[in-house]
Structures are given as structure tokens and as C-alpha cells.
């Protein structure tokens, strides 16, 4: 008779090394990409240069936040 094994525990991932606010501040220092647009590659490079890990989901989230911030800044300047 086979023994019943308990179901494996759900993985929750690891705790982020930086808060979203910290990532946002770092992302604002990243150079812009082509046509003055926010570059997720440049943001990822800037974050990793500070020794912080950055997953795709968080990178995409902070990229959208920075693009929205810069977009609203351009609208205010016009």
C-alpha cells in the first residue's frame, strides 16, 4: 500500500531586495532609449549595477510607472 504524501507547500518567492519606491528612484536615473522613450533594458542595467535583483514583472511595472511620470511631466511642460 502506497503512503499518501502531503501536498507540496506553495512557493511564494523571495522577498524583494528593493522596494518599488527604491526601484522607481533608480529607474529615473537610467538614460532614456530611442526617441526619448523609457528603456526597460536601461532600467534593468541601472538596477543591477547597484547589485539588486530585478525580475521581469517588476521591471515592466517600474518601466510603466516611469513612462507615466515622464509623460505627465511632458504634458505639464507643454
pLDDT at 46: 97
pTM above 0.75, yes or no: no
Cβ neighbour number for residue 11 with a 10 Å cutoff? 6
Instruction: Please determine, for residue 40, whether its predicted confidence score (pLDDT) is greater than 50.
Output: yes
Confidence at 78, pLDDT banded by 50, 70, 90: very low
Per-domain residue ranges for the chain?
Answer: 20-77
Which has the higher per-residue pLDDT, 25 or 1?
Answer: 25
Amino acid at each position: 500500500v502506497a503512503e499518501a504524501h502531503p501536498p507540496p507547500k506553495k512557493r511564494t518567492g523571495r522577498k524583494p531586495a528593493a522596494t518599488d519606491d527604491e526601484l522607481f528612484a533608480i529607474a529615473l536615473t537610467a538614460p532614456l532609449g530611442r526617441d526619448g522613450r523609457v528603456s526597460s533594458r536601461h532600467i534593468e542595467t541601472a538596477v543591477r549595477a547597484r547589485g539588486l535583483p530585478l525580475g521581469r514583472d517588476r521591471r515592466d511595472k517600474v518601466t510603466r510607472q516611469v513612462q507615466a511620470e515622464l509623460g505627465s511631466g511632458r504634458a505639464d511642460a507643454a
